[in-house]
Structure 1
Amino acid sequence: MADPVQNRLVFAYPGDIDTPTGGYGYDRRVIAGLRQAGWQVDLLPLGDGFPFPSIETAEAAATLLNTVPLDTALVVDGLAYGVLPAAVETLSRRRSVVALVHHPLCQENGLGTKEAESFKASENEALRHAAHVIVTSSATAAQVGALFAVAKECISVVEPGTDRPDPALKRPCQVVRLLSVGTIVPRKGYDLLFSALTEHSDKAWHLDVVGDTTRDKAYYADLLRLLEETGLSDRVTFHGSVDESLLGSFYSSADVFVLASRYEGYGMAYTEALAHGLPVVGSGGGAVPDTLSVEGATYCGVEDVCLLSDALEQLINNETFRVRQASLARAASSALPTWENAAKRFGEVVSRVCLDEIA
């Protein structure tokens, strides 16, 4: 890296940086890693409501971005960047801007056709003016290139890191503890998961769901109705958002991790589960096939309830298989990048794109 004294970065983001989601978690850990490596990282909150900001919020965000000194690198989180095309077009005339794209906004499940098309047009215009784009997986890099015609040399992959928790002592259990972690929105596929579990109502299991239940209240209400209709209400517990310490305890006490996503830009919850030595069952497009292409994980395609059901049945019914998958999961996690690696890589990209130009 360059001389730490010269490593100055403004990280612009929408909403609350402490929001307990994978995207914000990535932001926090990279920022912390950069600071530990000697970077001066200043945070620039752009306001609430993204990716559907009011006109006033968007205008205020544009004004804030224009206050960033020209001798300082600027990274903008994609949740805001993709819906501020006019602001970044103006910025690009006087400085380099790096866009951090966790996954294309237009790929979010549950969007209407017009909304998806509007996001795609906005992101396409905004990314035309990015000096560089950082993404969290090779799959997202390919999507950004295909959807928005961003050249390969203008995209860098910086995969999330993974912590190395101490192994949890697992005792023989009468009830298999299943864990799913993710915001309660259609993209996370909880309706698919509950449908798959309906086939196993005669078996001894309980599912803990950790994730914000307020983001899409209509979807959450639909899930509660589905559980009531299928008789699974007392087999599933929603815990809402929790802090990182409590989340770690959920991973430690679980026997199996399952997330039936429809799409992930990377899938940090999967790799966290692997690092905790949990057998993983997952699904979805985007980066999920790559993230789950390791021993200890079972990939179940996209929206395939039958495959999900079969994978869960094997892990719930067969303790020997479950223990073996857990051992393979922990072994596989040793090859995952650390957060120190991720921050170093992120800093190298920003230095090359922005700071070398400033110097």
Structure 2
Amino acid sequence: MSTDTSMHVGLVIYGDLGATSGGFRYDRQLVSYLRDQGDTVDVISLPWRSYPRGLLDGVTPSIRAKLDRPVDVLVQDGLCHPSLWRQNGQLEKPGAIVTLIHHLRSDDPTERFGRMFRPFERRYLESVDAAISTSQFTRTRACELTSGLDRKPTLVAPPAGRTEGAAVTLERVRKRATTGPLRVVYVGNVVPRKDPKTLLAAIARGHPERDWELTVVGSHDAEPDYAPSVVTAATEYGIDDRVAFTGAIDTPELEAILERSHVCCVPSRYEAFGMVYLEAMEYGVVPIAGSVGGAGEFVEHGHNGFVVEPGDEGGIAAHLQALDDQRGRLARMGERALVTARQHPTWGESMSDIRAFLGKQSDGEQDV
């Protein structure tokens, strides 16, 4: 079915499409775009499970019944693979099955049993007709995991940010760089994968000589056994008077924090794309990103941001010190970050690419 005419698309997710993570925001953008183009989109919600319980859903007839419907294309969020690894081979009604890979769970170093996930994630990827990835990094890793995936149709469609361009002016970035103490922001759930403790250790290296300020924005509910230890770490380092934990906040408050910040540091141990870095760059905020993942596809080390190895608190501290000491460099890097955000593909461009790709799969085209 050509995209000149409407399609009937199914989108398989876990839980509620309104959830706050970047992956769900991407899924919402896709649903909204397709519907705006006149397509019918069925959102098929599967229940969140523990990984072992999810694998049982992979052989459960009631799950199969929810999935087996006469859509042109059945798009599946790859995070649902525990519930899908065996189901896809039993489906008869979808015209094509396309996975949307936000994040390979077996790749995540903070997944305690990640290596045990690998056979099921591999089998799932073998069962699809085509794949969409949010970064070239993720596409490459998926093809390395799954023999033959590189011979199937694939598409890289990166997410955009919050404002899709520049949220502030170059003049604002230049002026901000010269004012006040160095203001650093962390944005993301307070979880081990995003490694806020390494950032706290880096901030502590500058204490008490440096008056750096850190704002930690993000929910403490995702890992309730871990988050309190992060708050405690700030106290143990003696920097609790320099660190503000906001918890989850609404968009206007986040935008206000980004507008006054100089640096956004989320030293993730694994980040398939890293939407937060792009969102910071829209405000001319210099990103410090983890090296494992897709951030290096738009964060150019030393030019518009920095890329650090996992756990490199010394490297983070050195970059913060350099930017604090060289405010002209801070301004120039912020300006380049802003230009990068302006040039990045918009949501509309990426979603248009996806729609064209889905149209080819519903037509049975096999361009790789």
TM-score, length-normalised on structure 2? Answer: 0.88
Report the residue type matching 1:157 in the other structure.
V
1:44-59 alignment runs, 5 A limit: 44-49=44-49, 51=51, 53=53, 59=60
Distance in 1 separating the partners of 2:275 and 2:24:
11
> Quick check: 1:13–1:46 contact (8 Å CA) kept in 2?
yes
Distance in 2 separating the partners of 1:275 and 1:291:
12
* 2:278 matches 1:271: yes
- 1:96 to partner: Cα distance: 2.0
Secondary structure of 1:43's counterpart equals: strand
Residue 167 of structure 2 is matched in structure 1 by 166
- 1:34 to partner: Cα distance: 2.4
Report the residue type matching 1:9 in the other structure.
V
Residue 183 of structure 2 is matched in structure 1 by 177
Partner residue of 1:304 out of 305, 312, 329? 312
Partner residue of 1:124 out of 122, 125, 133? 122
- 1:181 to partner: Cα distance: 1.2
* 2:338 matches 1:330: yes
Residue 102 of structure 1 is matched in structure 2 by 102
Residue 14 of structure 1 is matched in structure 2 by 14
- 1:165 to partner: Cα distance: 4.1
* 2:65 matches 1:63: yes
Residue 157 of structure 1 is matched in structure 2 by 156
Report the residue type matching 2:323 in the other structure.
L
Distance in 1 separating the partners of 2:342 and 2:300:
14
Residue 207 of structure 2 is matched in structure 1 by 201
Distance in 2 separating the partners of 1:355 and 1:8:
12
Change (3 A) 1:343 1:304: same
Report the residue type matching 1:324 in the other structure.
R
Change (3 A) 1:275 1:92: farther
* 2:81 matches 1:81: yes
Query: Which range moves more in the overlay, 45-54 or 236-245?
Result: 45-54
Distance in 2 separating the partners of 1:86 and 1:247:
41
> Could you list the per-position Cα deviations for residues 118-162 of structure 1 after superposition, in whole angstroms to 9, with x for gaps in the alignment?
211111111111011111111111100111224324222111123
Report the residue type matching 1:19 in the other structure.
A
Distance in 2 separating the partners of 1:293 and 1:127:
31
> Quick check: 1:174–1:204 contact (8 Å CA) kept in 2?
no
- 1:53 to partner: Cα distance: 4.3
> Could you list the per-position Cα deviations for residues 270-292 of structure 1 after superposition, in whole angstroms to 9, with x for gaps in the alignment?
11111221111122312232231
Could you list the runs of 4 or more consecutive aligned residues of structure 1 that deviate by over 6 angstroms after TM superposition? none
Partner residue of 1:247 out of 254, 265, 270? 254
- 1:81 to partner: Cα distance: 2.5
> Could you list the per-position Cα deviations for residues 323-353 of structure 1 after superposition, in whole angstroms to 9, with x for gaps in the alignment?
1211111112222111011100111111111
User: Share of identical aligned residues, percent?
Assistant: 24
- 1:183 to partner: Cα distance: 1.6
Query: Which range moves more in the overlay, 303-312 or 148-157?
Result: 148-157
Distance in 2 separating the partners of 1:242 and 1:301:
29
Please, what is the CA RMSD of the aligned residues?
Answer: 2.3
Change (3 A) 1:15 1:271: same
Residue 265 of structure 2 is matched in structure 1 by 258
TM-score, length-normalised on structure 1? Answer: 0.90
Report the residue type matching 1:129 in the other structure.
S
1:139-158 alignment runs, 5 A limit: 139-154=137-152, 155-158=154-157
> Quick check: 1:31–1:343 contact (8 Å CA) kept in 2?
no
1:17-32 alignment runs, 5 A limit: 17-32=17-32
Secondary structure of 2:225's counterpart equals: helix
Distance in 2 separating the partners of 1:355 and 1:9:
13
Report the residue type matching 1:323 in the other structure.
A
Query: Which range moves more in the overlay, 28-37 or 180-189?
Result: 28-37
Q: Any gaps of 5 or more consecutive residues in structure 1? A: none
> Quick check: 1:50–1:79 contact (8 Å CA) kept in 2?
no
Change (3 A) 1:196 1:345: same
Distance in 2 separating the partners of 1:355 and 1:211:
42
Change (3 A) 1:75 1:94: closer
> Could you list the per-position Cα deviations for residues 83-137 of structure 1 after superposition, in whole angstroms to 9, with x for gaps in the alignment?
421212212686421111112111223222xx21221111111111101111111
Query: Which range moves more in the overlay, 207-216 or 246-255?
Result: 246-255
> Quick check: 1:161–1:337 contact (8 Å CA) kept in 2?
yes
Change (3 A) 1:197 1:13: same
> Quick check: 2:193–2:270 contact (8 Å CA) kept in 1?
yes
- 1:4 to partner: Cα distance: 5.4
Change (3 A) 1:319 1:121: same
Partner residue of 1:188 out of 179, 194, 200? 194
Distance in 1 separating the partners of 2:107 and 2:74:
25
